[in-house]
């Protein structure tokens, strides 16, 4: 895959310190190993994306193995597609990216997130991948350069996905169903909002179609207070619910439903 300049879309070439395009836009390689391809004029805040506290909470929770079956299934579905080139778009702190890298050892792998704090930590999981701080709405890769896009609990720019995919390639989307963490939501809110598991399919652009869908569901016992606190911190519920409800969730063990939908959406 070929990286392109986020400012002028010209090809980026390797230099002694990082990357540069023919127009002399240059981007240094961070000591952790990633490239920051998010120019200041493309930022909506000084330090966009998840902060260090949220990233660390997610790292602890995921490394605790609570979502290991989800990552294993994602990796298996990706391996079944056998892509030569793949991108994890919205990789966070890299837990799922690392699983993808293990399942696709011969493929050319890239991962990006808008959060610098997340990518700094993600680099450690698979140093051989190409790690980027970049916008999901302006991915610095050439048109048609990806055989597989992975989107895990992440917002998505569908037109950008269509641009990035090669013909016959596809988007492997992983997202919650209406049952996901239902017991947690019932503890936090007086009224739990229902939503349509297939709502996202209405956004699939012309030129792509749903080729496969499946759901993985299991019960998860949360015995450790740290795990309950981390789960709160890594979801929007950590700041939406009031402090009293959050404290009650952390105070006592409970069981939640984990329910995730996987969609393979192909480019025609």
Q: Is 21 annotated as a binding residue?
A: yes
What does the DSSP assignment read for 165-192? EEEEEEEEEEEE-TTTTHHHHHHH-SSP
Closest CA to 253 of 183, 206, 193, 199: 183
209 annotated as belonging to a binding site for a ligand? no
146 is in an annotated binding site: no
Question: What are the structure tokens assigned to 1, written together?
Answer: 């895959």
Query: CB 265: neighbour CB atoms within 10 A?
Result: 24
What is the C-alpha to C-alpha distance for residues 45 and 175, in angstroms, rounded to an integer?
A: 26
CA neighbor of 233 nearest in space, from 52, 112, 91, 90 = 52
Is 56 annotated to bind a ligand? Reply is no
Q: Which residues define the annotated binding site for Zn(2+)? A: 5, 8, 21, 25
Q: Which residues define the annotated binding site? A: 5, 8, 21, 25, 67, 93-94, 180
Q: Which residues define the annotated binding site for S-adenosyl-L-methionine? A: 67, 93-94, 180
């Amino acid at each position: 895959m070929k990286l392109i300049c986020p400012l002028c879309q010209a090809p980026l070439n390797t230099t002694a310190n990082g990357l540069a395009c023919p127009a002399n836009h240059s981007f240094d390689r961070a000591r952790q190993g990633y490239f920051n391809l998010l120019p200041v004029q493309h930022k909506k805040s000084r330090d966009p994306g998840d902060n260090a506290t949220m990233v660390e909470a997610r790292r602890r929770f995921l490394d605790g193995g609570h979502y290991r079956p989800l990552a294993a299934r994602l990796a298996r579905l990706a391996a079944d597609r056998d892509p030569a080139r793949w991108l994890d778009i919205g990789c966070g702190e890299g837990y799922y990216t690392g699983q993808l890298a293990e399942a696709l050892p011969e493929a050319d792998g890239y991962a990006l997130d808008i959060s610098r704090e997340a990518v700094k930590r993600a680099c450690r999981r698979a140093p051989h991948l190409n790690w980027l701080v970049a916008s999901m709405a302006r991915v610095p890769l050439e048109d048609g350069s990806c055989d597989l896009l992975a989107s895990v609990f992440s917002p998505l720019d569908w037109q950008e996905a269509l641009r990035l995919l090669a013909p016959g390639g596809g988007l492997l989307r992983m997202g919650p169903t209406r049952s996901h963490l239902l017991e947690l939501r019932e503890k936090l809110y007086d009224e739990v909002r229902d939503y349509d598991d297939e709502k996202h399919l209405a956004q699939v652009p012309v030129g792509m179609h749903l080729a496969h869908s499946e759901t993985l569901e299991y019960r998860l016992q949360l015995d450790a207070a740290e795990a309950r606190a981390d789960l709160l911190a890594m979801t929007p519920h950590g700041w939406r619910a009031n402090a009293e409800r959050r404290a009650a969730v952390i105070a006592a063990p409970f069981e939640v439903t984990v329910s995730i939908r996987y969609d393979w959406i192909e480019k025609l």
